[in-house]
Structure 1
């Protein structure tokens, strides 16, 4: 966020542009939503509930959110993303690896469906 406030393009700060504000707000909303799913799963685990559904929701939501948010971050950083700012690029590669390791969202939804069917 700080970088977006400092970066300029075409002679003016990019943070003041409406499209970027919407992008940053969407990124924040996505992270907050993933955090809420995580906290819901955590509460289910502490309550000793069967939380397979919750765990699968966390995996699917957080890996997809990480990928989407890091892709948007690369857009915010623009030209600098692949050169001067390696943490953004590395974060995106790690998010993609997490998706591959954890299984895609479709696989997680299949596990959630099985959990509902087992009731």
Structure 2
């Protein structure tokens, strides 16, 4: 699934990273615990989270995550957006809660990955 499709599905607003709209995303991870992200995330993942702090961007950068969606209408501060821009990440925000956002992506064919994979 391409980033532009994720934007449409989630009625998301793009805050930075317009250059990645045609990037192919293979799976999604919904988490507020960055330790879970580090334990289970694989390549070409979109991260959905309600946690809005610089640690999200730092973790995404370590795990080669290029797309982060902030759920529940959360909007990161400018310093967080700047960190994402420096890393070449795409940052989105959606009004949907995490459960609904993950469900919408799953119902359109985006897979999740867990400990069983």
TM class by shorter chain equals: under 0.3
Q: Name which structure has the greater RCO, CA cutoff 8 Å, separation 6+.
A: 2
TM-score by length of 1: 0.23
Which structure has the highest helix share of the two? 1
TM-score by length of 2: 0.23
Q: Which has the larger radius of gyration?
A: 1
Which structure has the highest strand share of the two? 2
